[in-house]
């Protein structure tokens, strides 16, 4: 073969390669564009931002005029109720004073609701218990009381009954009593967003804020919305899986990767608000499905305190909730429990 013929052959092969690369590239971009176009044609709307320093993701369809301004107004109003770091907020003032004269109706109503929710949870959930964590340090090897910390004294400041309410005055029985509604407020705000969407005639949505999620209807592909979660594999390592949501709210409390060994089990970095001390069982993570975000949020934290045996008993008794539990059992190691009716909605097996 002559040198020119060889050159022509090489040029032809190079040209063919370039054509192939362009073809494959166009196919891949056309596929992506087609997927995005389908979502756009279906009217899927995606909004994200931050609420109380937590990212949120709202997916829904169809679009509604002026909805964004209504949503922003709602979130701004809700955020002002739960902020604790702004000197202008009522919670900031309440947490630093022995009383708050002329409180707003919204704050009084919020405190009354939280007090009732605490009673219903038998004090295993308590938004005034955050002060207890000032006395403890958790690590992968142990839970230890900090130097000079007095748990009994800290515990004296815990309890929603420390806040005495009237329409004209909120008075505290203990000056050190403080309330933290940051997580509670996220669940309530998410429920408010869901109500706003439904008021606008939107019946298909997926709303996620921090550890809270609520979904209704189906996505743009006419499939159930999917929630991403972590679960332990057979070796106890964290893996990612999906849970299909069928018009439910869910909340996850705890993290099975954050624990310490004691008494032949592993224990969560969680305190019992009733005693001020770490938990004595092996329940590490709870994911609770309920009819609304607030119920899921409170029960997920309450069960984390009650323990896995009590959680399974509650699951068997109640028909309005389902759950996924990750716990450490003596002699068996890390174990995952799932409500029987939930198993078909999981993308991962339960060991």
- Count of Cβ atoms closer than 10 Å to residue 321 Cβ: 19
**Backbone phi, then psi, for 218, in 5-degree steps?**
-135, 165
What is the predicted pLDDT for the residue at 40? 52
What is the predicted pLDDT for the residue at 350? 84
The dotted CATH code for 98-176 is 1.10.3980.10
Q: Is the pLDDT assigned to residue 339 strictly greater than 60? A: yes
Task: Assign 3-class secondary structure to 283-330.
Answer: EEEEEEEECCHHHHHHHHHHHHHHCHHHHHHHHHHCCCCEEEEEEEEC
The dotted CATH code for 43-84+181-216 is 3.10.520.10
What is the predicted pLDDT for the residue at 7? 34
Where do we find the tokens 């938004």?
127
Q: What is the mean pLDDT of residues 245-251?
A: 95
Q: What is the mean pLDDT of residues 154-177?
A: 97
| CATH architecture of the domain with range 224-345 | Roll (3.10)
CA–chain centroid gap for 243, Å, is 14
- Please, what is the average pLDDT of the chain? 89
- The domains of the chain are located at 43-84+181-216, 98-176, 224-345
- 36 pLDDT band, cuts 50/70/90, is very low
Provide the pairing of β-strand 204-209 with 163-165: unpaired
pLDDT in tens, 106-148: 999 999 999 999 999 999 999 999 999 999 999 999 999 999 9
Least confident of 11-15, 59-63, 229-233: 11-15
User: Do 224-345 and 43-84+181-216 fall under one CATH topology?
Assistant: yes
Alpha-carbon distance of 265 to 271, in angstroms, equals 16
What is the Cα Rg of the chain in Å?
26
What is the predicted pLDDT for the residue at 234? 86
- 1 pLDDT band, cuts 50/70/90, is very low
Where do we find the tokens 């009217």?
43
Q: How many CA atoms lie within 13 A of 14 on its CB side?
A: 6
The pTM of the full predicted model, rounded to 2 decimals, is 0.86
């Amino acid at each position: 073969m002559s040198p020119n013929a060889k050159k022509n052959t090489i040029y032809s092969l190079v040209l063919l390669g370039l054509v192939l690369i362009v073809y494959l590239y166009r196919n891949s971009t056309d596929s992506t564009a087609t997927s995005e176009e389908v979502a756009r044609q279906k009217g899927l709307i995606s909004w994200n931002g931050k609420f109380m320093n937590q990212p949120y993701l709202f997916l829904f369809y169809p679009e509604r005029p002026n909805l964004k301004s209504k949503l922003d107004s709602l979130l701004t109003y809700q955020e002002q109720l739960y902020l604790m770091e702004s000197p202008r907020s009522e919670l900031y003032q309440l947490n630093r004073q022995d009383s708050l004269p002329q409180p707003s109706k919204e704050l009084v109503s919020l405190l009354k609701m939280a007090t009732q929710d605490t009673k219903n949870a038998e004090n295993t959930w308590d938004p005034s218990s955050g002060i207890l964590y000032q006395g403890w340090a958790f690590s992968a090897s142990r839970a230890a009381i900090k130097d000079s910390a007095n748990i009994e004294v800290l515990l004296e400041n815990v309890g929603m009954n420390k806040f005495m309410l009237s329409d004209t005055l909120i008075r505290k029985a203990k000056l050190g009593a403080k309330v933290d509604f940051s997580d509670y407020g996220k669940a309530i705000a998410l429920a408010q967003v869901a109500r706003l969407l439904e008021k606008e005639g939107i019946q298909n949505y997926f709303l996620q804020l921090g550890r809270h999620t609520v979904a209704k209807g189906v996505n743009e592909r006419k499939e159930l919305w999917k929630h991403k979660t972590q679960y332990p594999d057979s070796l106890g390592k964290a893996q990612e899986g999906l849970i299909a949501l069928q018009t439910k709210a869910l909340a996850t409390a705890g993290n099975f990767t954050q624990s310490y060994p004691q008494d032949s089990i592993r224990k969560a970095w969680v305190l019992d608000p009733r005693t001020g001390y770490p938990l004595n069982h092996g329940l590490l993570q709870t994911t609770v499905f309920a009819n609304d975000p607030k119920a899921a949020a409170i029960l997920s934290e309450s069960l984390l305190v009650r323990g896995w045996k009590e959680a399974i008993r509650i699951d068997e008794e109640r028909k309005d909730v389902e759950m996924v539990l990750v716990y450490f059992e003596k002699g068996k190691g890390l174990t995952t429990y799932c409500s029987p009716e939930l198993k078909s909605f999981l993308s991962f097996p339960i060991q």
